[in-house]
Chain A
Amino acid sequence: MAKQPAAVVGIGQTHHRAKRQDVSMAGLCREAIDRALLDANLTLDDIDAIVVGKAPDLFEGVMMPELFLAESLGAAGKPLLRVHTAGSVGGSTAIVAASLVQSGVHKRVLTVAYEKQSESNAMWALSVPLPFNMPVHAGAGGYFAPHVRSYIRRSGAPTHVGAIVAAKDRNNALKNPYAHLHNEGTTVESVLASTMLWDPIRYDETCPSSDGACALVIVDEDTAKASPNPAWIHGTVMRSESTSAAERDQVNPQASRDAAAYLWKQAGITDPFAEIDAAEIYVPFSWFEPMWLESLGFAGEGEGWQLTESGETAMTGRLPVNCSGGVLSSNPIGASGMLRFGEAALQVRGAAGEHQVDGARRALGHAYGGGSQFFAMWVVGSEKPSS
């Protein structure tokens, strides 16, 4: 039996900040959930099942937080699932929720993802030394910086391309009232002048540490009829691979390439650069924009940086990337992937406000996690898929 059509009819997110000390974890999730339900014109009573996602429990020091959150999420008497795939979790959580509708198991599924980074320190949590080993780990930036250097060497990209991405995303964020960073006046020059943290990654080329949540309401075809602008799901994919295998390509991982190829096939897309109108790509460090542009097939190998440098990924370009400001402007880790998926849906619903791409019909939502080992992506469209 073929998949049942499914659509996003409600999207909610919090105002992302460094510290949301005004709310508990439950309150943070409910801020996003209540906005998503209002958008969908539904209530918690209309929801059949709830899927929650977040990154490692060590970030808040609460084991299995879905247990204590169940009541606040409105899950009493309903199925509640928790998903975890590191930084890609927001994306994979949305995909699990979508699959419950596409399989015909449920008609109306609520999904929420969150992180409250202010409850601890992600840099510490990602660098706990292990016995017998060399304590050279230095958080996510320390992990990814060598691979960014590899990309620059392999592609021959000019060294200011990362700064172009950072300046673009920070300026896009000025159009997004929910974004954590609203850094007026960011320029390529100001990014290049910022402190080098994990050489070759500068301070302004890194994501902030945020508290925030995102929620989506995903429904079946019958329920979607009541929505003036459903975002139809045209394809979903998840892939994973080993963290450290001999000669593993960490710049352009096999799992990422395989996932993209399968995603485009499902969505009937043969030329993603021409056929995708807006992309929300998981870019926690600026250089990952050109890296993922290549891996996703928007550009040939070694050519992703040319799309960035020529302005094609700006809001005025042919492939606007991260019009919301992206992960570089808001990073509630567990929610960051779902924000990419939700922002893609906002674009095809024509509901992205000031950062709307005119006439966007098909959009990509993308997330990755772990040591570039977990991938989750979807394509959403303004039209119901034909098959």
Chain B
Amino acid sequence: MTRTLSAPVTVAFDYTRSTGPVLGRFLTGLRDKVVVGGRTSAGEVVVPPLEYDPVTHEQTADFVEVADVGTVTSWTWVPEPVAGQPFGRPFAFALVTLDGATRPLFHAVDVASPDDISTGMRVRVRWAAERVGHINDIAAFEPLDRPGVEEVAQQPSRNPSTTEPVAGVVTPVSLDYIYAASPEESTFYRGLDEGRILGQRCPSCHKVYVPPRSACPTDGTPTEGEIELSGAGTITTFCIVNVPFLGQKIAPPYVSAYVLLDGADIALLHLILGVPADEVRMGMRVKAVWKPREEWAYSLENIDHFAPTDEPDADYDTYKRHL
């Protein structure tokens, strides 16, 4: 058995970018099958245009229409494309200096093998059938000596009649990674899978941490030993969440509370149920309510929630240093 538990995480959002007037001009051009560059104070024609001139620092205002035909100035082969790249098959990324420009544009070239591309090769833009004002309006570049292929529309244009300048683009970003728990946390989550709440004590300051820590935040020392806690505790402080938000897992309103388990020196954040939200109090005694055993996993979610017991409230002095 490996020492640590891990699980995949995906963080994804469709970001809404404001382009500003300069990049907006470039993207508006693409929508109309025109490549727009910007002339710098040094006379360079740059595609896409720079937002601000690197010498005068003024916003770019001198726009130049360049050709949709150009020359490969450098390239690299992509043998194993990954998700989100222009093609699911091997292809080239290249720097292409379009006729009329002095600086190259980075984009994909649709060729079958690295033998089919070379520096100095002439290429042309293959326009996407549906253009929305995005860099992907250029589907790819293709060799100039190959017969032109018009991209076939997969679906009708969303808004073919629009003439408004492009002011924004949507950029979906999705990040996949593996979240790894520390060895100490892994012990805690394995305990939960057996219906046990396991803490550890810092050998330097003697505080009991739940979950245990690889480094006590006060001393830097790893916590040690095995301290099993009963699941009974006291609400120190809490918040009633009334606000819905994107990605929320629990339907509001709900009470998110710090529960100081008996025997622990740090409170755990969890959900309170079994009592109307407006009756939850500081000092209220609660106990863990576990999910049915067949639903258990390596997770603090094995504890479905904490519910009040019929004990009297804890004395303020017993939890005030946790506020």
Chain B positions 216-273 with a Cβ under 8 Å from a chain A Cβ: 216-218, 236-243, 245-250, 254, 256-258, 265-266, 269-271
Which among A21, A45, A242 is the interface contact of B217 at CB below 8 angstroms? Answer: A242
Q: What residues of A have a CB within 8 angstroms of the CB of B181 in the complex? A: 131-132
Report whether B239 and A72 are in contact in the complex, using a CB–CB cutoff of 8 Å.
Answer: no
From known contacts A24-B51, A197-B242, A247-B265, infer whether A121 and B13 are also in contact, taking CB-CB under 8 Å.
yes
Query: A90 in the interface, Cβ–Cβ < 8 Å?
Result: no
Query: Which bucket holds chain A's interface residue count?
Result: 35 or more
B153 on interface, CB distance cutoff 8 Å: no
Residues of A within 8 A of B22 (CB): 24
Query: B57 and A74: CB pair below 8 A?
Result: yes
B11 within 8 A of A: yes
* Cross-chain contact A198 with B7 (CB below 8 angstroms): no
Instruction: Mark interface residues in B284-321 (1 if CB within 8 Å of A CB, else 0).
Output: 00000000000000111101000000000000000011
B20 within 8 A of partner (CB):
yes
Given contacts A26-B51, A61-B173, A149-B239, contact A128 B247 (CB under 8 A): yes
Interface range on chain B: under 10, 10 to 19, 20 to 34, or 35 or more?
35 or more
Assembled-state Cα–Cα distance A22/B23 (Å): 12
- Which chain B residues in 177-212 approach chain A with CB under 8 Å? 179, 181, 185, 189, 205, 207-209
Asked if A80 lies at the interface with its beta carbon under 8 angstroms from chain B, I say: no
Contact A21–B171 (Cβ < 8 Å): no
Whether B52 contacts A30 by the Cβ 8 Å rule is yes
Q: Does A76 contact B (CB under 8 A)?
A: yes
- Chain B residues with CB below 8 A from A197, complex form: 242-243
Q: Which residues of B contact A61 (CB under 8 A)?
A: 13, 15, 171, 173
A-side contacts of B300, CB under 8 Å: 132-134
**Does A199 have its Cβ within 8 Å of any Cβ on chain B?**
yes
| Of A124, A136, A142, the contact of B246 (CB 8 Å cutoff) | A124
- Name the residue of chain B whose CB is nearest to the CB of A123: B245
Asked if B50 lies at the interface with its beta carbon under 8 angstroms from chain A, I say yes
Given contacts A120-B13, A133-B299, contact A138 B243 (CB under 8 A): yes
Tell me whether A198 and B323 are in contact (CB under 8 A). Answer: no
Contact, CB under 8 Å: B241 / A142:
yes
Measured in the bound complex, the distance between the Cα atoms of B9 and A45 in whole Å is 45
**Cβ contact of A118, chosen from B18, B173, B248, cutoff 8 A:** B18
Docked CA distance A109–B250 (Å): 47
Q: Does A274 lie at the interface of the complex (its beta carbon under 8 Å from any beta carbon of B)? A: no
* A145 at interface by CB-CB < 8 Å: yes
- Is B5 an interface residue when CB atoms closer than 8 A count as contact? yes
B100 contacts the other chain (Cβ, under 8 Å)?
no
Instruction: Given A27-B51, A61-B13, decide whether A132 and B298 contact each other with a Cβ distance below 8 A.
Output: yes
A142 to B252, CA, bound (A): 12
Partner of B16, one of A72, A120, A200: A120
A-B contact count (CB 8 A): 186
Q: Does B282 contact A (CB under 8 A)?
A: yes
Chain A nearest CB, measured from B28 CB (Å): 14
Which of chain A's residues 197-247 have a Cβ closer than 8 Å to chain B? 197-201, 242-247
Cβ of B67 within 8 Å of any chain A Cβ, yes or no, is no
Q: Which of A118-165 contact B (CB under 8 A)?
A: 118-121, 123-125, 127-139, 141-142, 145-147, 149-150, 153-154
Q: Which residues of B contact A26 (CB under 8 A)?
A: 20, 51-52
B187 to chain A, nearest CB (A): 12
In the docked arrangement, what's the CA distance between A146 and B16, Å? 32
Given contacts A128-B11, A136-B271, contact A153 B323 (CB under 8 A): yes
B237 and A147 contacting across the interface, CB-CB below 8 Å: yes
Known: A44-B57, A247-B321. A127 touches B248 (CB 8 A): yes
Q: Given A136-B256, A146-B258, are A76 and B20 also a contact pair (CB < 8 Å)? A: no
Name the distance in Å between A161's Cβ and chain B's nearest Cβ: 17
Please state if B18 and A23 are interface contacts (CB–CB under 8 Å). yes
B214 CB within 8 Å of chain A: no
B167 within 8 A of A: yes
Residues of B within 8 A of A (CB): 5-9, 11, 13, 15-23, 50-52, 54, 57, 59, 167-168, 171, 173, 179, 181, 185, 189, 205, 207-209, 216-218, 236-243, 245-250, 254, 256-258, 265-266, 269-271, 277, 282, 298-301, 303, 320-323
Smallest CB-CB A-B distances: 10 pairs = A24-B20, A145-B239, A199-B240, A242-B217, A131-B7, A245-B217, A150-B323, A135-B249, A246-B207, A246-B265
Apart from A26-B52, A131-B7, A198-B241: 13 A-B pairs, beta carbons within 8 A: A20-B18, A21-B168, A27-B51, A44-B57, A132-B181, A132-B299, A134-B301, A138-B241, A138-B256, A145-B239, A146-B237, A198-B243, A244-B217
Q: List 16 A-B contacts (CB under 8 A).
A: A21-B167, A22-B167, A24-B23, A30-B52, A58-B11, A118-B16, A119-B15, A119-B17, A121-B13, A129-B247, A134-B269, A136-B241, A136-B269, A138-B248, A150-B237, A199-B277
